Chain A
Amino acid sequence: MHEWALAEGVVATAIKVAQREGLREITEIRVKIGELQQTDMEIFEFALKEIVRPQTALLKRAKFVFEHEPAMLKCRVCAAEWPFKQSLQELDEGESESIHFLPETAHVYVRCPSCHSPDFEVTKGRGVWLESITGER
């Protein structure tokens, strides 16, 4: 997913939660990032800073903590399991660029290393998850 969109989503959701919980200030935001998303952390962190800047009161001291989850794929035909990283090495630039923008297009370009089936599931490392928001009331 695109880093800016993701950063906007994280901040918007954090603000919503803070308002619901009556937080005066958010001190920590924990985000779990699946490897399938192909997030460029440098751009992501820069985007977060830029988006947070005008939100001074609520997010001034907020610290972001990231947890990365490697992506695992499992073939639905032969049950083979393999790390997404392994498939990524075999893709050309355009293909991995597509997955960067739309992670689900992995299904278009990745095949099971054992039986070449395109029918696999992402068992781990998909999506982005806001794990927790800590703050002061």
Chain B
Amino acid sequence: MDPRLGIIEERLKDVKRVIAVAGGKGGIGKSSVAATFALMLARAGHRVGLLDLDICGPSSHVILGISGVAPMEDKGIVPPLVHGIRFMSIIYYAGDNPSPMRGEDISNLIIELLTITRWGPLDFLIIDMPPGIGDPTLDIIRFMKGVEFLIITTPSKVALETVKKLVKMLIELGSPIIGVVENMKTDALPAAQGSIEALHVPFLGTIAFDEELEQAVGDVDRLAKGRFAADLRGALASVITAGGGGQLV
């Protein structure tokens, strides 16, 4: 028996909601959503953690401009509180180096991260998931009971096709899906709403393509005040109140 698995549940027992931000493919703004969502929750007074599990391409720290902090060692690892967010990522240990890992390594790394991290009491733990439906997604479902999925897509046909696969898999595995957010909406492409609703999952709303988002990367004040955050807040407001998690202001 793997003794690490016996402790993951214990580590999460004081976390009210675990929300995995996932997408069928990369480049759809999943990390921007996860990081901004965590930031909005923190600024609204919630106790929030952000776990970057995009092991091969961690980027939450870049979006939130996090550097020069390290976790504290205390009978495990306590993530530092940055911008009001308990933030955990492989970057504390891998730095800016690439992490050339395969499935089995990534699974082990995820188990390790979940085992050593002491989140303490949280209202929300947001997970920035790796893209796709590979091992990490299956691991999260296996190890984190009660994890809810927030799915991000863009209006592109390719993104929508991969989201379909992700949704089908989550339904088959019995994982709760909060809904789908359409990111990078432009007038050039047809809206995703119809295709999403055809999958019988809630369509939460749309985030317009925001040219200023790139400038806000690394600057949390600008990020929190920008149009991207405003649109995201609109899409997620009902989710937060419906879940009994309080207001998302």
Contact = CB atoms under 8 A, between A and B. Distances in A.
Interface residues of A, number: 33
Given A1-B116, A2-B76, A9-B7, A105 B2 contact: no
B108 A8 contact: no
Interface in A11-39: 12-14, 16-17, 31
B114 to A, nearest CB: 10
A63 to B, nearest CB: 17
A101 interface: yes
A135 interface: no
B125 to A, nearest CB: 17
B112 A103 contact: yes
Nearest to B100: A118
B115 A102 contact: no
Interface stretch (B91-99, B142-150, B191-199, B218-226): B91-99
B161 interface: no
Query: Among B4, B73, B105, which residue has the most Cβ atoms of chain A within 10 A?
Result: B4
Interface in A74-117: 98, 101-105, 107-109
Contacts of B102: 119, 121
Interface residues of B, number: 31
Given A102-B90, A107-B105, A128 B76 contact: no
A77 to B, nearest CB: 11
Contact of B4 (A98, A105, A128): A128
A104 B112 contact: yes
A2 B104 CA distance: 20
Contacts of B104: 121
Contacts of A108: 93-95, 97-100
B41 to A, nearest CB: 26
Which secondary structure dominates where chain A touches chain B?
helix
A108 B105 CA distance: 11
Given A1-B116, A108-B97, A130 B3 contact: yes
Contact of B6 (A13, A47, A127): A13
Contact of B93 (A101, A119, A122, A128): A101
A104 B101 contact: yes
Nearest to B10: A12
B93 A105 contact: yes
Contacts of A2: 73, 76-77, 116
Nearest to A109: B97
A10 interface: yes
B75 interface: yes
B1 interface: yes
B3 A104 contact: no
B34 to A, nearest CB: 21
5 contacts: A5-B115, A6-B115, A8-B7, A47-B75, A104-B99
Interface of A: 1-2, 4-6, 8-10, 12-14, 16-17, 31, 47, 98, 101-105, 107-109, 118-119, 121-122, 126-130
Given A102-B116, A127-B108, 13 more contacts: A4-B75, A5-B7, A13-B6, A31-B3, A102-B93, A103-B108, A104-B105, A104-B108, A104-B112, A108-B99, A121-B104, A127-B4, A128-B3
